[in-house]
Chains A and B, each alone.
Chain A
Amino acid sequence: MTLHVIEAGLRSTIQDAGRTGHLRSAIPAAGPADGVAFEAAQRLVGNDPGDAAVEIVGLPFRFTLDAPRLVAVTGRDVRLRTRGSIPAWTAAFVRAGEDVTVEGGERSRFSYLAVSGGIAVEPVLGSRATYLPAAIGPLPRALAPGDALPLGPARRGADGAGHAALRSDDSEILVLRGPHADRIAGADALLRGRPYRVSERSDRMGVRLEGPALDAGGTEILSIGVLPGAVQVPHGGEPIVLLADGQTTGGYPVVASVVAVDLGRVAQAVPGEALSFYEVDRAAALEALRVVRRWLERL
């Protein structure tokens, strides 16, 4: 069973939940930029959250399947077009040979295409995730027209079609106070919602923010381990939110950490869009995580 890529978008890749077994060799976990959208797509077609799907960057993405399968697309400002238009966040049954296009508008950035059974390429270093900067993964490059992606056995059939989920689109991002917030001038304003704009120079490694500069005293720290969601303050003072491809260690002070369930919203913001960060305590962060997990597990 195979997915045939006809149009591949700009920088689409195979991703699974990520590769956390080699962080000490400085290999970033990779995995989806928007973990919640990724997992929702997987669950809508009956897959495990650890299965592999396609992360689409740059629409449209066009494909056929050589056997009928349940598919789902999630993301922002995105939908499926076959015989008609099918909204995102909804499972759809696709016939063998049917020409399917994932299309979207100006507010789309990372979209997820899950097919029941998952993309069944052989894991590399314990994962099917793609890390493009060092060409790590079973298919360590951006997808291209003509690619034939093997699929695992279907997990859910046609009766799953029409099953839908929806996530609200929100520019208010919950954060926890970072380990160095106390020594960064301007930290409190950032933690209380002063808006920042998303820079053009954002990618899967990190979202660069433009706005009032923070001041960490101009000094670097001895490198520490960092993880996705960390909000670093580099020399210029404009913060960077680390995403899935972010470095495993960093020498910049960390002012905040985006809560796990809101990191996808940061990744999905398009250049020029405003984001505001609000400090919460760990109990509130954990409650937000529980709410999203319960929602995902019901899909």
Chain B
Amino acid sequence: MAVRVVPFGEAALLVELEQRIDPAVAARAAAIADRWEALGHGPAVPTYASALLRYDPLVLDASAAEAAARAILDAPAAPLAGRLIEIPTRYHGPDLDDVARLSGMSPREVVSAHTSREHLAYFLGFMPGFAYCGGLDPRIVAPRLRSPRTRVPAGSVGLVDGQTAVYPAASPGGWRLIGTTDVVVFDARRDPPALIHPGDRVRFVEVRMAGGVPPAKSR
């Protein structure tokens, strides 16, 4: 697919790249967003394969904004890179057995697949501090829930369609929940407030539960 630059309201452009989850495509989206912000036109929001570029239409007219966006489509893109972050996780989520069944694996094999690799954080979205992490073991089959839960507890570790994430706060959600963590992935009083940033590698580490009984949650 060709790169598309389309208006999004009178004060933003949407750059759509190849529509797939791929570290190189996400790195390109992030580089475009970085360049746009460096030009001082306004804030930008990159995702897996797009970048929303905001501007003030009273300062920059539509054609000048499009020209400025097209001029940075091929900005040099360094690979997404960051820190290694470990997330101690108790694998007692309500959907673990379903995910195992859908994947043709045992629950232990799902846990092993989830803990045996690093997951790349692509971007933050959905709610403050929610990091979309890719690179899930391709054997894991986890389609979105048909009807989303009205309340997913804070600290839930979820999966959907090749992605995994930690819910920073309680919210409605349609991801399959396989575990929980006590790690606080978002705290507005912290600087920076989000724990996981694009480019970070997230490794889930199993916390064994004595007797199979989940310990009381600390929050």
For residue A275, CB closer than 8 A to chain B, the reply is no
Chain A residues with CB below 8 A from B49, complex form: 222
The verdict on A248 contacting B45 (CB below 8 Å), with A26-B125, A27-B128, A227-B52 known, is yes
Q: Are A222 and B52 in contact (CB under 8 A)?
A: no
Q: Are B193 and A225 in contact (CB under 8 A)?
A: no
Chain B residues with CB below 8 A from A227, complex form: 8-9, 11-12, 52, 54
For residue B120, CB closer than 8 A to chain A, the reply is no
For residue A57, CB closer than 8 A to chain B, the reply is no
Q: Are B45 and A286 in contact (CB under 8 A)?
A: no
Q: Nearest CB to that of B196 among chain A residues?
A: A25
Q: Are A223 and B14 in contact (CB under 8 A)?
A: no
Q: Are A282 and B124 in contact (CB under 8 A)?
A: no
Question: What DSSP secondary structure best describes chain B's contact surface?
Answer: loop
Q: Nearest CB to that of A223 among chain B residues?
A: B47
Q: Are B11 and A125 in contact (CB under 8 A)?
A: no
Interface positions, chain A 36-74, Cβ under 8 Å from B, are none
Which has the most chain A C-beta neighbours within 10 Å: B7, B20, B42? B7
- Cα A22 to Cα B124 in complex, Å, equals 10
Q: Nearest CB to that of B37 among chain A residues?
A: A24
A-B contact count (CB 8 A): 138
List 11 extra interface pairs beyond A176-B10, A222-B50, CB under 8 A.
A23-B43, A25-B193, A26-B127, A134-B168, A179-B6, A224-B14, A224-B50, A225-B125, A230-B8, A249-B126, A260-B11
For residue B178, CB closer than 8 A to chain A, the reply is no
For residue B141, CB closer than 8 A to chain A, the reply is no
Residues of chain A whose beta carbon lies under 8 Å from any beta carbon of chain B: 20-28, 124-125, 131, 133-136, 140, 176, 178-179, 221-227, 229-230, 247-250, 254, 257-260, 282, 285-286, 289-290, 293
Pairs A–B under 8 Å by Cβ, sample size 17: A26-B127, A28-B128, A133-B171, A134-B128, A179-B14, A179-B16, A224-B50, A224-B52, A225-B14, A225-B51, A225-B125, A248-B124, A248-B125, A249-B47, A282-B10, A282-B62, A286-B62
Q: Are A179 and B7 in contact (CB under 8 A)?
A: yes
